[in-house]
Structure 1
Amino acid sequence: MPTRRLFCAATAAALAGCATGPAAPPAAAVSELGSTGKLRAAINYGNPILAARGDDGQPRGVSVDLARQAARRLGLPVELVTFTSAGNTVEAIKARQVDLAFVAIDPVRAADMEYTAPYVVIEGAYLVRNGSALQRNEEVDRAGTRIAVGRGSAYDLYLTREVKNASLVRVPTSPQVVDDFLAQNLDVAAGVKQQLEMDARRVGGVRLLPGRFMVINQAMGVPKGRTAAQAWLSAYIEEMKASGFVAEALRRHRIEGAAVAPPGRAA
């Protein structure tokens, strides 16, 4: 065959290969993520960056988009299992009631799940009353200061390790933090910055302290030991970041204050 024809044939074959799209997931990953014949994805309404209830009552948000796209790649139907708190979401992963969750990376949780690298980075912030003497994040950890936190949230776990003098008052879910902070006359409310900003507009008479007290890395997680699922999801989430899928989802759902995480490896 002439050289030109060989070159054209090779080029056509390469283009045909590109047109096939992403490689099929390994059978082991499909088996681990679809052990019940479907992908059961935990969706946490307690974090407005990740998910919210739409006008039609259905879940919407970047985590929903990622779960649906993963299910399509796996060739599985998706079941969105909704929760009101990160704590309940983590318990569902531990009990293997779901196959995939969207959670903040934390060393405590690593005992019960396998993580991907983060896909979104958000901030933890403090909220106080307008008349509070507190002006900076560094002033919060003082004896007598009572901080409202969502039980089992990433910032609950972080502050449990870091706070030395103040005390934590745990409330059932993150969306309840500001209401309980006011009802119990607590000194500080801790939470995801965007949730606190929404609550501040809703209740009035409160303000956020400048900056942040922590960075929250949001990742995908699967039950401990499901390493084939973790490996495939790790590659999947890196592709979703690099392709612009995550950034576009944040724009589409009008999420501000969250950033696409840089390329990285699982924790």
Structure 2
Amino acid sequence: MRPDPALVHEFAPTGELRAAINLGNPVLAQSHTARERPAGVTIDLARRFGELLGVPVQLLPFETPGASAAAIASGKADIGFLAVDPKRAESIHFTAPYVQIEGCYLVRDASPLQHNDEVDQPGRRIVAGAGSAYALYLARELRHAQLVEVPFDNACAADALLADPALDAAAGVRQQLLADLARVPGVRLLPGAFMAIHQAMAMPRGRSAAAVDLLESFLAQQRSSAFVRNALARHGMEGVTALA
């Protein structure tokens, strides 16, 4: 059943559901060329939510998570898909998460580092894409190592690591770092993960309780029906945990 018209208007005040799509995380969405339409689990979820509301969906692709978060927080996007983070949550409402991915470290083959807990030591320098969930996390959690943030793109951290011998490790999501392993010689992944990244649907803060309930119940249904799990498999996303 279609929601109340007032609730539909709250989600889509322009008559379209404007969905911010974060192309900076390959687990969420992929677009390999400028002309290629984005594809991924977040596009599938946006279109399905648009069907529930009975409105067309306008995809708003962003190259970085920071730009996507800014669009949601400002109301330029009606919904979006981001990693849950307390700093972002000051201006964005997050649902319960639907996917868990891993934040990992990439190091040079010759690096003495063998385990994640060896990275946060005095004198170490870790590079990460600015505005990413793992950069926000490391900015809070590092006690000894220095975080070096570089302009975000999918491969920036690995390339920055190799270009600057003063850097000790690059942080990123496992799927992108595995792609870097195939692309860049002389690097390796440290085993395990230094953080779990929980991906959720998002909307601007200040929406009504009814809007919050609708988005939460929609996503809960997509999780329990295996829609999320099946979408991840359809788009070839391996090593990702779909949350029930």
Which category of TM-score, normalised to the shorter sequence, fits these structures? over 0.9
Alpha-carbon deviation of 1:31? Answer: 1.4
- Structure 2: gaps of 5 or more residues: none
The structure 2 residue matched to 1:231, chosen from 200, 203, 213, is 213
The residue type equivalent to 1:193 in the other structure is: R
Partner of 1:214: 195
C-alpha separation in 1, matches of 2:41 and 2:91: 24
Alignment of 1:113-262 (within 5 A): 113-175=92-154, 176-185=156-165, 186-227=167-208, 228-262=210-244
May I ask how many residue pairs the two structures share in their alignment?
240
Shift in alpha-carbon separation, 1:156–1:54, aligned structure 2, 3 A: closer
Alpha-carbon deviation of 1:117? Answer: 0.5
C-alpha separation in 2, matches of 1:149 and 1:40: 29
Q: Secondary structure at the match of 1:257?
A: coil
Larger Rg: 1
C-alpha separation in 2, matches of 1:108 and 1:100: 18
Alpha-carbon deviation of 1:179? Answer: 1.3
Please tell me whether the aligned partners of residues 222 and 229 of structure 1 are also in contact (alpha carbons under 8 angstroms). no
- Structure 1: gaps of 5 or more residues: 1-22, 263-267
Please identify, of 177-186 and 34-43, the stretch whose mean Cα deviation from structure 2 is larger: 177-186
TM-score, normalised to structure 1's length? 0.87
The residue type equivalent to 2:151 in the other structure is: P
The residue type equivalent to 1:147 in the other structure is: I
Shift in alpha-carbon separation, 1:240–1:108, aligned structure 2, 3 A: same
Please identify, of 27-36 and 187-196, the stretch whose mean Cα deviation from structure 2 is larger: 27-36
Percentage identity across aligned positions? Answer: 50
Please tell me whether the aligned partners of residues 2 and 54 of structure 2 are also in contact (alpha carbons under 8 angstroms). no
Shift in alpha-carbon separation, 1:149–1:201, aligned structure 2, 3 A: same
Alpha-carbon deviation of 1:28? Answer: 3.7
Alpha-carbon deviation of 1:195? Answer: 0.5
The residue type equivalent to 2:225 in the other structure is: S
Please tell me whether the aligned partners of residues 94 and 112 of structure 1 are also in contact (alpha carbons under 8 angstroms). yes
The structure 1 residue matched to 2:27, chosen from 39, 44, 49, is 49
C-alpha separation in 1, matches of 2:7 and 2:202: 13
More helix by share: 1
TM-score, normalised to structure 2's length? 0.95
Post-superposition CA distance 1:26-72 (Å, at most 9, x none): 33431121011100101111100000016760010000000011111
The residue type equivalent to 1:29 in the other structure is: L
Please tell me whether the aligned partners of residues 105 and 169 of structure 2 are also in contact (alpha carbons under 8 angstroms). yes
